[in-house]
Every structure is written in structure tokens, then in C-alpha cells.
Amino acid sequence: MSNTTMKRKGSCFVFGDNVNTDEIIPARYLSTSDPAELALYCMEDARSGFGRRDDLSGSIMIAGENFGCGSSREHAPISIKASGIGCVIAKSFARIFLRNSFNIGLPIIELPEADQFGEGDEVEIDFDRGLVRNLTKNKEFTFNPYPEFLKKVIDYGGWLSYAKAELMKEGA
Amino acid sequence: MATGQSMSEKIFSRKADRRVSPGEYLMLDVDVALGNDITAPVAINEFRKAGGKNLRYPDRVVLVPDHFAPNKDIKSAQQVKLVRDFANEQGVKHFFEVGRMGIEHVILPEMGIVKSGDLVVGADSHTCTYGALGAFATGVGSTDLAGVYLTGKAWFKVPSAIQVRLTGKFRKGVAGKDLVLYLIHILGVDGANYRAMEFTGPGVANVSMDSRFTVSNMAIEAGGKAGLFPVDDITIAYEAERGIKVEPFAADEDVAWERSIDIDLSDVPPMVAYPFLPSNGKSAAEAEKEKVKIDQVVIGSCTNGRIEDLRVAAEILKGKKVAPSVRCIIFPGSQKIYRQAVEEGLASIFVDAECAFSTPTCGPCLGGHMGILAEDEVALSTTNRNFVGRMGHLKSKVYLAGPAVAAHSAITGYITDIREGA
């Protein structure tokens, strides 16, 4: 694991400002914590049927300010990750959602220029260099590259798996 | 140059055993780690997947199945069973069963499980409620909770703080909910993102403990990481009733606040937040002019299900009937409050007024059970969120208000301001 070059490439699905966790995964689906089932209802109240599309795998989710505001439910980033979406790019993220995303290994990027991406735009992300390329619009944006440990957390699929494999191994 | 510390910095400094500053990352032992029937199952699975056998500190773990309990269906029953079995297996004494249970953020302070100065994480965004006691309490996700189960620790970034300086006194009929809706209207739903809000100033002494819980509860609705009140005579008296002795504790005079907001409490009107964000606040007087017809009124929740809230509602509903077109659901935050409501005669007032008086549960607030809205229905609720589809159908609408506005509106059938003399 790790030291792999971390990249994502896919087409965009665009959402607006203040998308909250009730829209990402409505409470009526929270009587399960099975990721595959949660994936089916991903973004259900923002765009009905979204989680059941068959073209989500590897795609990029784009959003505005304060993405993921509301509940602490980890089911929200879990449903996005389990739907196959490769990365979420937003102008800003709500605090708990940001923390949960890293903890479960969902790559997210805060990018003030997130409004320069349109539905269906082809995007390429190079996490090592901190680059986002909008191939459709031929534009390039930079972000602070993830620290090595966060890339590893995502490689391992989440904070606890990483902690178990890397931190406990060191005998720290 | 300001060298003083905010309450948040002081609590983190005490836990880290050295002076810390905003922006620092810390790995700290927590005093209390809370989970509920939605978030704890995910944490328990993660704990087991990581090879966890025994909780590091079972006495610091609190499990409250309150969201879909009393169980609304088989799946919820399975989730609660998973939590119950885990609590039994791990010797978790702070596990609360239906009949002994209440809404997590109401019972933790009420039972003295959290106290002033504590560092608390909860896998529920409204964990910030305990800031009312001068605790640093913040919402996290299930993986963080699993980390605490394993190690007793969680990671934190010491937040910078926004000062909310209060002066004056509430006008009659105005309370914590109106203040916090007014404040969120100023800050916006992400105005306090990543930051703590700290309440200071002479007006704090005029805000009751129950109102403080309401205000701190909704710090997250402005994105706040925490919402803290100083530990003053009101807090000391509240804690003393629970056999807990605490010392006065406040932010220093010379803190380098990231931002300061001044609010004269007498300027705060009865408020209503329009769909679909808690920041869409208007005065109730303005809302009344629009004659917004409502199908359901909900009074209760971790935001406004405390005894003071029920007393306010009962005073207004006494001898009246809920409008024929309205369903009014009242749900107290805890068994203790339920009993108080019975003993003080409030329960009879509610039943006489033709309200449903429920056992404690989070159900109605998040459209879980006990009051789901149908297509195009409108609710006025004392809960904390009015997001799209929050209480039921995607095309339903939730307006937020305090218990006074909610009770008046239940009687008239449309959003109604408080009345003179009420």
C-alpha cells in the first residue's frame, strides 16, 4: 500500500450551496448502516434516483459552499463513497463532514473555484501535485496537496484501518 | 496585544497540560463519548473491524438509543439490539433503555453525566448542547467514536472563537430559541464553520439554563464547532442540584476574538426560521402577516424539550384547544421532564387542548417517526432543522420557532406572533 500515485479522472455531477446531510442521505434510510444499501439513496433528496444511476463509478461530485452541513451521520460520506464517486470538490465543507470524509477515506478537495465546473465536464485530479484539471474547459486549478499520512489513510480506506496497520505496527 | 484565552483554549490547555493556541492539533483523552442508535452501530462495527475487544474506558461511554426508539420498525429494533448487546457485553453503565431513556442532549446534563469544563465528543451534531454548561462538546462521526472506544482519545484542532457579547434582558415571551435564530440569521449557516462561539457580557446572567441549552444546541446550525457559556452562578446552581461542585469559569477579558457580535437581548423579537435553512429568520410579527397556514406543530426535541419550554407552551394552551386543522405533538426531553409535566399539571393541559403528549424520542425532529409530514404539508416546529424533507415528504415544509410562537400558532392554525400579556 501507499506511495501509489493518487489520481482520479471522471465526469462531473454538479450540486449547489449548503447541500445538507439530510439531502445526501435522508434519515428515513438510516435504519441500516450497510454501505451498499446507503449508496442506493445517495443524494436522494437533492436529485431523486441519483444513487441508482449506473454511471457514478469514478465520477466527480462538485458542490458550492458548506457542503455536508447538518448531521454528524457518517452515513453521508459513506453513501457517496459506496456509490463509486471518486472525489468531492466543493468551495467549502462543513466541519464534521470534512472530518468524517477523511476518517472513512473519501477524498475531498476544498476549491474556491468549484463554480467553474459544469455538469458532465471531464476532470482529472492529481493529488500528489495538488492539481485539478477541467479537461472540457481547458482550465487548471491548484490545491494544497494532501500530507502523506492522509493519502495513506485514503489508500487504506479509512482512519482506523490506517491506524491499525501503520501506527500499531510502529509499536507507538 | 491580546494575550487572554477563550474558554475553548482554556479547556484544551487544561486537557493538554500546557498552554495551547488556536490552530494546534492535539490528541486528547475525552471525558465523555456519546453515541445513539444511528451512529453507534457504525462505530461498534468499526471498533470490531479494527480488532477492538474491550472499551478503553467503559465508564466514559454513553449509549442512548433515542432516534428511532421506541423502535419504529424491525430494522430499528435490530439496530437498538446491537447497541444494547454491546453495552451489556462491555459493561457500559450509561446505557439508557426506553422508559429510562430521554433525548441524549437533554439527559446527559440533567443526570450530571457531563459537567462544566469537560471535553466531550458525541456522534451527533447537537453534542454542542453541553457548551451551555461551559463544557467543550462537539459533534463527530462514528469513526471518531470508534477511535475513542479503542484508545480513549480523539484528535482535535483548537478552534479560534467568535465572541457573542450579550447585554440587556429578553422582552416578555422571548427566550433562547429566538436568540439563537436571530444569531444564526446574522452569522449564516456557515458563519461559524470550524470555530467556537462563546457567549460573554452582562446579558448572560439574564439567560436561563434551559435557554442556554437551546442556544448552544443550535451552534452547529451556524456551522459552529461548539457554543460555550461561562460558568456563572446559574451554572453553579444547576450543577449543585446534581451534586457537582464547580468553580466560576469564563473567557479572559483580553481575548483576540476572530470576530465579535453584540446583541442587546431586548432587541431580539420572537423569531421564525423559514424553510429551508435555519438562517432564514424573520420576526414572528412579520411571519404572521403572511398568514402561513400550518398542518402540524411540534414542541419538544433536544432543542426545546425542557421543562421551561413545556411550561411556556402550557401557559398559552391552558383552557384552549388546538385549531381543528392542526395536529400538535408535544414530546418532553426526558423521563424526569415527563414526570414534572405530569406533576405540575402540564400534561393535563396538553391533553385537554387536544395535543398528542409523547414519550421522549428524537422521532419527529428528523422525520423518523411520530409525526411525518405528507406532500405539501407545513409544520411549525421547535426543533433545530428545517432542511428539505427533514420531517417527511420532500415537498413538505418546516418552519422553526420557540415554544411560545409554536403554542400560539397551534391555537390559531397559522404562524402567529406571541400575544400581549401572554
- Residue B95's Cβ-side half-sphere holds a number of Cα atoms within 13 Å equal to 18
pLDDT reported for residue A154: 86
d(CA A138, CA A152): 30
3 state DSSP class of B175 = coil
Length of chain B counted residue by residue: 422
- For chain B, report the end-to-end CA distance as a whole number of angstroms: 48
d(CA B149, CA B188): 34
Pairing of the two strands B94-95 and B61-64: parallel
Chain B residues in contact with A165 by the CB 8 A cut-off are none
The CA-based angle B144-B145-B151, given to 5 degrees, is 85
Q: Which residue has the higher pLDDT, A167 or B228?
A: B228
pLDDT reported for residue A1: 43
Indicate if the pLDDT at residue B421 is higher than 70.
Answer: no
The Cα-based distances of B45 to A33, B50, B51, B73, B420 in angstroms read: 10, 9, 10, 21, 54
pLDDT reported for residue B155: 87
Query: Residue A66's closest chain B neighbor by CA?
Result: B190
Report CB contact under 8 Å: B67, A30. Answer: yes
Q: What is the pLDDT of residues B56-97, one digit of tens each?
A: 999 999 999 999 999 999 999 999 999 999 999 999 999 999
Neighbours of B261 (CB within 10 A): 15
d(CA B77, CA B257): 46
Report CB contact under 8 Å: A22, B385. Answer: yes
A117: preceding bond cis by omega (within 30 degrees): no
d(CA B63, CA A11): 42
Distance of CA B171 to the CA centre of its chain: 23
d(CA B406, CA B418): 9
Contact A51, A39 (CB under 8 A): yes
Does B124 contact chain A (CB < 8 Å)?
yes
Query: Residue B144's closest chain A neighbor by CA?
Result: A103
| Mean pLDDT calculated for residue range B338-364 | 98
Query: Residue A105's closest chain B neighbor by CA?
Result: B143
The Cα-based distances of B392 to B19, B172, B366, B396 in angstroms read: 47, 33, 8, 7
pLDDT reported for residue A171: 45
d(CA B227, CA B222): 10
Give the pLDDT band (50/70/90) at residue B145.
very high
d(CA A108, CA A90): 8
The Cα-based distances of B293 to B288, B362, B372, B402 in angstroms read: 10, 25, 17, 17
Does B140 contact chain A (CB < 8 Å)?
yes
Using 50 as the pLDDT threshold, list the residues of chain A that sit under it: 1-3, 171-172
pLDDT reported for residue B71: 97
- Residue B167: enclosing H or E segment and its boundaries? strand B161-167
Chain B residues in contact with A26 by the CB 8 A cut-off are 367, 389
- Residue B297: enclosing H or E segment and its boundaries? strand B296-300
| Mean pLDDT calculated for residue range B228-249 | 98
Q: Which residue has the higher pLDDT, B239 or B1?
A: B239
- Residue B58's Cβ-side half-sphere holds a number of Cα atoms within 13 Å equal to 13
For A45, the closest of B194, B220, B394 (CB atoms) is B394
Does A66 contact chain B (CB < 8 Å)?
yes
ipTM of the complex: 0.92
Sheet holding A139-142, edge to edge: A108-110, A87-90, A60-63, A7-14, A122-126, A131-134, A139-142
Judge residue B280's burial from the number of C-beta atoms within 10 Å of its C-beta, 0-12 exposed, 13-18 middle, 19 or more buried.
middle
Q: Which three cell numbers stand for residue B39?
A: 451512529
Contact B193, B228 (CB under 8 A): no
Does A33 contact chain B (CB < 8 Å)?
yes
For A74, the closest of B73, B141, B394 (CB atoms) is B141
pLDDT reported for residue A167: 66
pLDDT reported for residue A169: 61
d(CA A159, CA A101): 10
pLDDT reported for residue B2: 77
DSSP, res B267: G
Does A26 contact chain B (CB < 8 Å)?
yes
For A104, the closest of B143, B190, B193 (CB atoms) is B143
The residue type at B26: L
Does A45 contact chain B (CB < 8 Å)?
yes
Judge residue A170's burial from the number of C-beta atoms within 10 Å of its C-beta, 0-12 exposed, 13-18 middle, 19 or more buried.
exposed
Sign of CA dihedral B310, B311, B312, B313: positive
**Of residues B222, B384, B236, B369, the one with CA closest to residue B309:** B384
Does B51 contact chain A (CB < 8 Å)?
yes
Backbone angles phi, psi at B380, to 5 degrees: -115, 125
Report CB contact under 8 Å: B141, A94. Answer: no
Does A121 contact chain B (CB < 8 Å)?
no
Q: Which three cell numbers stand for residue B2?
A: 491580546
Backbone angles phi, psi at A122, to 5 degrees: -85, 130
pLDDT reported for residue A2: 44
Backbone angles phi, psi at B350, to 5 degrees: -65, -45
Does A151 contact chain B (CB < 8 Å)?
no
Does B206 contact chain A (CB < 8 Å)?
no
Locate all alpha helices (DSSP H) within A1-74, ordered by sequence.
21-24, 35-40
d(CA B104, CA B145): 15
The Cα-based distances of B379 to A54, A172, B164, B357 in angstroms read: 36, 53, 30, 17
pLDDT reported for residue B422: 45
